[in-house]
């Protein structure tokens, strides 16, 4: 007779470090879009991240996929500015 012991302990691998450094890196690589209210990030199946400008949906003056890094943008609004 076999036992039915299903007592497997899964080791936790969910250690996510702090993101501070990476965010700074993003900011210099991406430019303003990195923390713009109107930016959305899209991750491709290969793991690269694209920045999509939501302003472009309503305003042809903006590019849907802006060339990065964006150094200056009239439509830039920092996230969490709560204007």
Distance separating alpha carbons of residues 26 and 28, to the nearest angstrom: 5
Residue 34 engages ligand SF4 in binding (rule: CB under 6 A): no
Of 7 and 61, which CB lies nearer to ligand SF4 in the complex structure?
61
Angle, CA of 24, 52 and 56, to the nearest 5°: 125
- For ligand SF4, the binding residue among 3, 18, 69, 70 (CB under 6 A) is 70
Residue of the chain from 8, 14, 16, 55 that contacts ligand SF4 (CB under 6 A): 55
> Which residue among 49, 66, 71, 78 contacts ligand SF4 (CB under 6 A)?
66
């Amino acid at each position: 007779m076999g036992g039915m012991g299903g007592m497997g302990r899964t080791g936790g691998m969910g250690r996510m470090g702090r993101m501070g450094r990476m965010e700074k890196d993003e900011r210099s690589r991406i430019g303003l879009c990195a923390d713009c209210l109107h930016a959305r990030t899209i991750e491709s199946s290969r793991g690269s991240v694209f920045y999509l400008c939501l302003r472009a949906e309503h305003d042809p003056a903006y590019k849907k996929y802006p060339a990065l890094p964006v150094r200056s943008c009239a439509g830039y609004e920092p996230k969490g500015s709560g204007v």
